[in-house]
């Protein structure tokens, strides 16, 4: 069936022997847009085998050559930004301009991995024994970083290309091979991205991409004995994976409930524009989106008015028209968001706009006077709905932030830098942004979550290091 996109194994595009496919539903039309292969467990076994063999040779390939191929893949990816962005528009309803930005950012990320990799991996350590009591200078220790082996990369639907390359780039420069399981929504964009690596001429089997049903190959992949590291970005599934995975390094980023704390002295226009950008870009479907505003009562009315005025200007509609607010990824996601909105309604939240939904398209909604007994005070809507909780002290804000199961990022708005630093120190999150909305980038910055937000730290440098292990060789002098 020529309509089904092939999967990538052993340097070739293949049909699955299952004869089955998985449909990708366009969130805007809610009709099937593309189909991908439903790979089998045997096909996964094959991919793991060849990934293991390919990695051995790749680890011996000079670092500068690995870097050269990555630079080539980055350039090819950027050349093909238009068709890849089009897939993102159709598969995940990402606004057209943001879709192009995602691909360009991905090319830059790959190049940066190559540059960073040659530096940090091209340097080791040399130790002598005589610094430890009782030792003569009779042992020299050479320390280097070696690859882990086969990395399993599982990115989420919201950045199927960028959050795939943020795993692929570090893995490959560090001498690992890589098996990619893209999200179903976004799989075709990911397959196109993989094709750019194919065109760049990477060795056969070094990168593979298997598509299919989570129920068939999900656990099989994550529990596969051939996997030496899992890098996962997504939701609760990550917690289940971490319980089932073997004794291998895990890198996980599992969402957030990023708080925006607003103090009385803040620049309220800056606050409002960051709340709107942070809360509503890609319709709130970012783990780093502002997901709760904690504003001091004395400035709350002013902040809510300013945000309302900006929300009124957001365009709502199809991603092809580059609207600000586009349909959320699936019907079940829209239903979940609606559930949170209805719960807040029953419990007396103030609706700053009328709640409106057509299919998967939900109009942007600001909920004021949200209280801690409402689900939306704690849960992650992953949609264009933003709760405002009015606070009477900074401590109250910090307490709400730290009582969350999540601890990804947070932000604080104030002109007092000393206060900002003290609040940052008190907020138990992986990152705190002062006077700007949370964001993962620039992509070489460390990116990590506390509690249910994840394990390990990402960002280009940290990911490269995380995807290696230490090897020592000790020279014993006569």
Q: Does 390 bind ligand G3P (CB under 6 A)?
A: no
Calpha distance 53→47 (Å, rounded): 10
Choice from 66, 198, 224, 440 touching ligand G3P (CB under 6 A): 440
CB atoms within 10 A of CB 216: 17
Q: Least distance in Å: CB of 461 to ligand G3P? A: 16
Calpha distance 75→46 (Å, rounded): 30
Residue whose C-alpha is closest to residue 463's, from 451, 472, 455: 455
Residue among 96 and 391 whose Cβ is closer to ligand G3P: 96
Query: Per CB under 6 A, which region of 298-306, 326-334, 336-344, 439-447 contacts ligand G3P?
Result: 439-447
Calpha distance 312→356 (Å, rounded): 13
Residue among 198 and 440 whose Cβ is closer to ligand G3P: 440
Catalytic (active site) residue 43: no
Catalytic residue among 287, 352, 401, 411: 287
Q: Does 439 bind ligand G3P (CB under 6 A)?
A: yes
Query: Per CB under 6 A, which region of 291-299, 325-333, 384-392, 434-442 contacts ligand G3P?
Result: 434-442
Residue among 329 and 388 whose Cβ is closer to ligand G3P: 329
Residue among 251 and 288 whose Cβ is closer to ligand G3P: 288
Assign 3-state DSSP to the chain and report helix, strand, coil percentages, each to 5: 40, 25, 35
Interior/surface letters 136-147, b for 16+ CB within 10 angstroms, e for the rest: eeeeeeeeebeb
Choice from 181, 195, 286, 400 touching ligand G3P (CB under 6 A): 286
Query: Per CB under 6 A, which region of 89-97, 284-292, 305-313, 368-376 contacts ligand G3P?
Result: 284-292
Q: Which 330-359 positions form the footprint of ligand G3P (CB under 6 A)?
A: none
Indicate the DSSP class of residue 206: S
Calpha distance 197→221 (Å, rounded): 22
Query: Per CB under 6 A, which region of 265-273, 280-288, 346-354, 396-404 contacts ligand G3P?
Result: 280-288
Residue whose C-alpha is closest to residue 256's, from 430, 82, 123: 430
Q: Does 460 bind ligand G3P (CB under 6 A)?
A: no
Q: Least distance in Å: CB of 275 to ligand G3P? A: 15
Choice from 51, 187, 287, 294 touching ligand G3P (CB under 6 A): 287
- Structure token digits, residue 446: 């460390």
Catalytic (active site) residue 253: yes
Residue 156: what are its φ and ψ, rounded to 5°? Answer: -95, 175
Size of the site for ligand G3P (CB under 6 A): 8
Residue among 348 and 442 whose Cβ is closer to ligand G3P: 442
Per-residue interface string for the shown chain with ligand G3P, residues 108-147, x marking contact by CB under 6 A: ----------------------------------------
Q: Note whether 102 and 85 are within 8 A (CB).
A: yes
Calpha distance 150→168 (Å, rounded): 11
Q: Note whether 328 and 27 are within 8 A (CB).
A: yes
- Entry field: residues in the chain: 478
Choice from 201, 348, 441, 442 touching ligand G3P (CB under 6 A): 441
Q: Least distance in Å: CB of 49 to ligand G3P? A: 32
> What one-character-per-residue DSSP string does 369-410 give?
S--TTSGGGTS---SSEEEEEEESSHHHHHHHHHHSSEESEE
Catalytic residue among 91, 253, 379, 380: 253
Q: Which 151-180 positions form the footprint of ligand G3P (CB under 6 A)?
A: 158-159
Q: Least distance in Å: CB of 2 to ligand G3P? A: 34
- Structure token digits, residue 183: 């999200």
Q: Note whether 429 and 407 are within 8 A (CB).
A: yes
Binding site for ligand G3P (CB under 6 A): 158-159, 286-288, 439-441
Active site residues: 253, 287
């Amino acid at each position: 069936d020529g309509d089904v996109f092939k999967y990538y194994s052993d340097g070739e595009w293949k049909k699955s022997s299952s004869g089955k496919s998985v449909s990708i539903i366009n969130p805007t039309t809610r009709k099937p847009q593309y189909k991908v292969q439903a790979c089998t467990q045997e096909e996964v076994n094959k991919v793991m085998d060849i990934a293991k063999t390919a990695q051995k040779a790749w680890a011996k390939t000079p670092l500068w050559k690995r870097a050269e191929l990555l630079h080539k893949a980055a350039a090819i990816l950027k050349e093909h930004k238009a068709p890849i962005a089009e897939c993102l528009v159709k598969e995940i309803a990402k606004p057209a301009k943001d879709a192009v930005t995602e691909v360009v950012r991905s090319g830059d990320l790959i190049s940066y991995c190559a540059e960073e990799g040659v530096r940090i991996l091209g340097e080791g350590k040399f130790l002598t024994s005589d610094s430890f009591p009782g030792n003569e200078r009779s042992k020299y220790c050479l320390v280097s970083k070696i690859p882990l082996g086969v990395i399993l990369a599982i990115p989420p639907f919201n950045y199927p290309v960028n959050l795939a390359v943020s795993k692929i780039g570090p893995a490959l420069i560090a001498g690992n091979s890589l098996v990619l399981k893209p999200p179903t929504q976004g799989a075709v964009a990911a397959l196109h991205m993989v094709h750019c690596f194919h065109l760049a001429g990477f060795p056969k089997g070094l990168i593979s991409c298997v598509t299919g049903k989570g129920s068939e190959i999900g656990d099989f992949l994550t529990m596969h004995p051939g996997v030496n590291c899992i890098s996962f970005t997504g939701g609760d599934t990550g917690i289940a994976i971490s319980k089932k995975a073997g004794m291998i390094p895990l890198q996980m980023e599992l969402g957030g409930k990023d708080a925006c704390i607003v103090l009385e002295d803040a620049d309220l226009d800056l606050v409002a524009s960051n709340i709107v950008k942070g809360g509503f870009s890609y319709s709130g479907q970012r783990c780093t989106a502002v997901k709760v505003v904690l504003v001091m009562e004395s400035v709350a009315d002013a902040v809510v008015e300013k945000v309302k005025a900006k929300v009124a200007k957001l365009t709502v509609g199809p991603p092809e028209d580059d609207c600000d607010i586009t349909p959320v990824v699936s019907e079940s996601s829209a239903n979940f968001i609606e559930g949170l909105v209805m719960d807040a309604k029953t419990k007396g939240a103030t609706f700053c706009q009328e709640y409106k939904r057509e299919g998967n398209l939900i109009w942007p909604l600001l909920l004021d006077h949200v209280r801690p007994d409402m689900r939306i005070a704690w849960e992650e809507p992953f949609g264009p709905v933003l709760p405002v909780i009015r606070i009477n002290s900074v401590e109250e804000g910090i307490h709400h932030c730290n009582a969350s199961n999540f601890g990804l990022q947070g932000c604080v708005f104030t002109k007092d830098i000393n206060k900002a630093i003290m609040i940052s120190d008190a907020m138990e999150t992986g990152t705190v942004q002062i006077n700007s909305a949370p964001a993962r980038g620039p992509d070489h910055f460390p990116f990590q979550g506390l509690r249910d937000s994840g394990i390990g730290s990402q960002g280009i440098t940290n990911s490269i290091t995380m995807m290696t292990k230490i090897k020592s060789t000790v020279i014993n002098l006569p």
